[in-house]
Amino acid sequence: MKAIRLILFSFNFLFAFSTFASENKGCEIKFSVKGLKEGSNCILAHYHYNFQLKKDSVKSNANGEFIFKQDDKYPQGMYLIIFPDASPNKKYFDFVMDADQHFSMETDTSDYIRNMKIKGSDENKVFYDYQHFISNQQKIIEPLRDQSKKLKNNKDSSKIIHDKMAVIDNEVKSYKKNILQANNKLFITKLLKATDEPEIPEAPVKADGKKDTLFAYHYYKAHFWDNFDFSDERMLRTPIFHPKIKQYLDKLTPQIPDSINGSVDYLLEKGKANPEVFKYLINLLVYDYESSKRMGFDAVFVHIVEKYYLTKQVTWIDSTRMYKVTERAYILKPLLIGKKAPPIIMQDTTGKPVPLYNIKANYTIVVFWDYACGHCKKDIPALHELYKTKLKAMGVEVYAVETDSGLKEWKKFINENNLSWINVIEHDDYKRAVTKKFYDIYKTPIVYLLDENKIIKAKHIDNEQLINFIEMLEKEKKKK
């Protein structure tokens, strides 16, 4: 059972879906659910991103009947009827919202799918015929799967079971193929086709006589979107688009920014087939990579902003939002992994200037902290203990920057905790504000790890990760 995440909100900068151009006769969809209690809350929702967006709600009558009726059509796509007060396995059922929004659906709470009857909608009749067939096949194949697990060490018996399962699998493929051929103009067939997996041919033999072990991966990724229609806006309101995006970016793409940038560009180029699809992808990707907690992935956000926002390909947001997005990219770009850290000069406890770039060490940890910060009161002494016991012996120096201007309290904290590393502060309020912006200090503590050339190797890393990360960098050095 899929988890239902029903979100009710208004988009302040996202896009509004447009409806398909067709004769506007409004909407009147009748539902009858035997066993549904009178006054049950019935929610109409459609799929959006990885959750469901509420469109309307009504109450059922004593016969379990309810109607969604309005003068305008609903945007087309895959919808759900959700019963929030029902038991966990009876929370919802799906249906297709097509151009003709005058039809009826009748079912029973004992089994929504098996008992579903459709009137006036070819889309939903095909959809539920397919679900009935799949449900029946699953009941046949599940016992075989159980037997296969039990007999996995018995080759002969296991082969018999696998052959039976293969027959059922072929029956499903054949049934699906027949549906696609007989109903190729329906949206549901387009949706079913989009779920098809690429059939991978045999790997070619290389010049050395061996087969390419990466052929299957490259072929699968290259053909992953073959059956997906990016020009059809209705695909946005389905449960398959968002998971396919996540699979393509998170599973099929190497998790390094340059590779992800390539996959992002591929998706966005495909998305240009439909303005609403392009908007959807841009909004999703910008949000995901700007807010990503994975170190270094902010480089993908910067790439998207530079390639699509600054080239005026994003035209649907207002100037305020545009400024916020581009300003964020400008701040992050100099702080990306592999960039040279911005030079700063701070004063130590005696008022003497200490340039960051003057520090001679294999690695420099730049930590921005505040003596009044609750987390810092615990994390800074813990980091100092790590510095004394391990880091210093590894050729690591710490440049600890106090982000506030309370000199007396700062010095008191240093003395009480015997902080023996390089303690610095910026006395000038304006310069301190500039430094915070240069290093994107929106909270404390924040840690940057620099190499001997002051190149950023890691950031926003905690005490426990520091040792392992430095050891990994040292191993990489020895390989070169």
Per residue in 381-421, pLDDT (tens digit) is: 999 999 999 999 999 999 999 998 788 999 999 999 999 99
Average pLDDT, whole number, for the chain?
A: 90
Asked if the model's pLDDT at residue 8 lies above 60, the reply is: no
Length of the chain: 480
Cα–Cα distance for residue pair 309/317, rounded to 1 Å: 10
pLDDT at site 425 = 93
Band of residue 171 on the pLDDT scale cut at 50, 70, 90 = confident
Average pLDDT of 467-475? Answer: 92
pLDDT at site 14 = 34
Asked if the model's pLDDT at residue 5 lies above 50, the reply is: no
pLDDT at site 4 = 42
Superfamily, domain 345-479: Glutaredoxin (3.40.30.10)
pLDDT at site 24 = 52
Contact 21, 63 (CB under 8 A): no
Cα–Cα distance for residue pair 231/219, rounded to 1 Å: 23
CATH architecture of 6-120: Sandwich (2.60)
Contact 352, 388 (CB under 8 A): no
Cα–Cα distance for residue pair 329/331, rounded to 1 Å: 5
Average pLDDT of 250-268? Answer: 97
Asked if the model's pLDDT at residue 121 lies above 90, the reply is: yes
Asked if the model's pLDDT at residue 7 lies above 80, the reply is: no
Mark out the alpha helices in 183-240 (DSSP H runs). 187-194, 215-222
Asked if the model's pLDDT at residue 285 lies above 90, the reply is: yes
pLDDT digits (tens, 9 = 90+) for 229-243: 999 999 999 999 999
Cα–Cα distance for residue pair 373/445, rounded to 1 Å: 8
Cα–Cα distance for residue pair 335/399, rounded to 1 Å: 17
Asked if the model's pLDDT at residue 1 lies above 70, the reply is: no
Running DSSP on this structure, what letter comes out for residue 305?
I
